[in-house]
Amino acid sequence: MRARIRRAATLGAIAASIVAACGDDAASNAAAATTVSTIHADTTIAAAAPTTTATPPTTAAPPTTETPMDDGTGCGAVALRLDVAALPELAGGAHYEAWAIIEEMRVSTGKFLVENGTAVSFDGAPVECFNVDGLETATQLVITIEPRGDTDVVPADTHLVAGDVINKGATLTVDHPAALGTDFSDAAGTFLLATPTDGNNTNELSGIWFLEVPGPNPSLVLPQLPPGWVYEGWAVIDGVPVTSGTFLQATGFDDFDGFSGDQGGPPFPGEDYLKNAPPGLTFPTDLTGATVVVSVEPSPDDSPAPFAIKPLTGNADDPAADHVSYRLENAITELPTVTAVIG
């Protein structure tokens, strides 16, 4: 589990050390959007903050069935069919659950997994539909990500997609107010290479920080996330995405400093890759030409891999310079969606 140990240094000392280390280097921005691999060090997620984002009604109703889905032979006259081809596969025991808003109550229509773009039951059998009483009066549909061992009839906070039912159909999207509530089209930012936790001018190409100098000032522009979600930073080292910690906003410590030194880091998301390297890697490292990613992660997160939503990606130069801002490009091209039909 990630230790919440981020040691604070004073802003004045941080600013002085960063500016001193920067010297007269001219800032030069360079970035290239890229796709991140899906392997990394173990991940523990911080709790999400309150939000004003609209969510379905708070009174939960028990489901009319506990079966994950039907196999198609038992679909009733009014059944829910989902096209889940655009949903990412989950790992670590997490699963999806669909919910229908019926008479202002959230009714579970069933739990399922996604394999090769198809909904399957927990034993891997392809399935076709959900059967639940009252579907003909449903006004909204929501799909949540449920953690390993989930057995209750209350939806997790991690609402991935949602949509309003119109003419017995719905398109469930990430930007619906009952889901994440944004399409991340305004996300932007920069990062720099530095290692403030082991002093100035030492291993300076072995850490990533989401801040700008002089200042330091925050460098990320990201929408507020609703409960059930957090941001996470990554450095792709020798093809392996390695976490820099999870966070909810552009200022303040993130939740992880397990790779950092002992001299205290600035109150911004970031990490020095100096010790405790994951298997197959060696720290300190050299992030010359490395890909840096900011992803959106479920909370809690049962998967050891970065989630499918990655708003920002960028690259350090080759050769790289420390304490120079590198641009993070908006990498949102396609977000998870689900098409639903009732009938």
User: Which tens digit of pLDDT belongs to each residue from 105-149?
Assistant: 999 999 999 999 999 999 998 888 999 999 999 999 999 999 998
The amino acid that residue 318 corresponds to is D
Give the pLDDT score at 80: 96
Place of tokens 């996470």: 232
DSSP-derived secondary structure letter, 19? H
Residue with tokens 């552009």: 250
What is the identity of the amino acid at 167?
N
Outline where the chain has alpha helix (H): 11-22
Write down the pLDDT at residue 172.
98
How many other CB atoms are found less than 10 A from the CB of residue 27?
Answer: 14
Rounded distance, CA 136 to CA 86, Å? 25
Which burial class, exposed, middle or buried, applies to 74 when counting CB atoms under 10 A from its CB (0-12, 13-18, 19+)? exposed
Q: Read off φ and ψ for residue 314, nearest 5 degrees.
A: -160, 175
Tokens of 170: 């719905």
At 151 the pLDDT is 84
Residue corresponding to tokens 């489901």: 63
Sign of CA dihedral 31, 35, 38, 43: positive
Amino acid at 299: S
Would you say 271 and 291 are in contact if contact means Cβ atoms under 8 Å apart? Answer: no
In the Cβ-directed half-sphere of 316, how many Cα atoms lie within 13 Å?
29
Predicted local distance difference test score (pLDDT) of residue 173: 98
Burial 250-274 (b: 16+ CB within 10 A, else e): beebbbbbbbbbebbbbbbbbbbbb
Please, is 116 exposed, middle or buried when counting C-beta atoms within 10 Å of its C-beta (0-12, 13-18, 19+)? exposed
Q: What pLDDT was estimated at residue 176?
A: 98
Average pLDDT for runs of 10 along the chain of length 343: 39 41 35 32 34 35 40 73 96 94 94 95 90 94 95 92 97 98 97 95 97 96 98 96 97 97 95 97 97 96 87 97 97 96 93
- Please give the pLDDT value at position 47: 35
Q: Name the amino acid, one letter, at 178.
A: A
* Predicted local confidence at residue 303, as pLDDT: 77
Predicted local confidence at residue 18, as pLDDT = 42
Q: What are phi and psi of 100, to 5 degrees?
A: -115, 135
Per-residue confidence (pLDDT) for residue 258, from 0 to 100: 97
Query: Rounded CA gap, 208 and 191, in Å?
Result: 7
Q: What is the pLDDT of residue 152?
A: 85
Cis amide leading into 155 (omega within 30):
no
Contact 40, 242 (CB under 8 A): yes
**pLDDT for position 77:** 81
What pLDDT does residue 325 have?
A: 97
Q: What is the pLDDT of residues 70-80, one digit of tens each?
A: 444 478 789 99
In order of 90, 137, 228, 303, the CA distances from 173 in angstroms are 18, 21, 16, 22
Is the pTM value of this prediction over 0.85?
no
Q: CA geometry: angle at 109 spanning 306 and 126, to 5°?
A: 65
